[in-house]
Amino acid sequence: MLVGYIPFFILALILHEVGHFIAAYACRVKVTEFGLGWGPEIYAFRIRQVTYGIRMLPLGAYVRLDLPGLLSRPLLQQVIVLLAGIAANLIAAILTDGTRFSLMNYLLAVTNILPLYQQDSWKCGIVVLRDVLQRKSPIVEWTFTIAGSSLSFILFVALIIRRIKGL
């Protein structure tokens, strides 16, 4: 039964990255690569200075941005680019409510909303913190990372306990 969700999960991953891609393009942030999967590259092609690739393990997807270009944009544009994938998944989930595709989009959006290390909302939080502080602060950034991850873990455990008690 879970195997039936795999194509929808892959489509949700691609949609998530397309959200980042479109936002980056709209904010004039250069995209250098759009990839599906991890590991060794199986196939790639290049269009307009962007390499599109498929990797051996289709467990993830990514858009490689010109990071200095992104960081040179106004804060609002940085936030838009970083959160566009979540927005794309939430819109798709709402529009396809009640389907497997909707569920996979909600799942992907929620896992990226939690401020876990290297997830979209974590990256957005770091960008905002650096803007507020007007500099990098390893102590503040690690505190944000540990606190966000800890709170996410506590929330996850609480939901599991609630689910078990509800059964």
39-89: pLDDT as tens digits: 999 999 999 999 999 999 877 899 999 999 999 999 999 999 999 999 999
Average pLDDT of the chain? 89
Structure tokens at 79: 């936030």
Question: How confident is the model over 29-47, as a mean pLDDT?
Answer: 94
The pair phi, psi for residue 60, each rounded to 5°, is -160, 180
Sequence-distant (≥ 6) Cβ neighbours of residue 129 within 8 angstroms:
137, 140, 141, 144
pLDDT tens digits, residue range 107-131?
889 888 877 777 888 888 889 888 9
Quick one: pLDDT at residue 31?
Answer: 96
Residue 16, pLDDT above cutoff 90: yes
Rounded Cα–Cα distance for residues 126 and 111 (Å): 17
Residue 167, pLDDT above cutoff 70: no
Quick one: pLDDT at residue 72?
Answer: 94
17 is catalytic: yes
Closest CA to 102 of 15, 1, 17: 15
Choosing from 17, 33, 41, 141, the catalytic residue is: 17
Residue 143 or 163, more confident: 143
pLDDT band with cut points at 50, 70 and 90 for residue 35: very high
**Share above pLDDT 90 across residues of the chain, in percent, rounded to a whole number:** 53
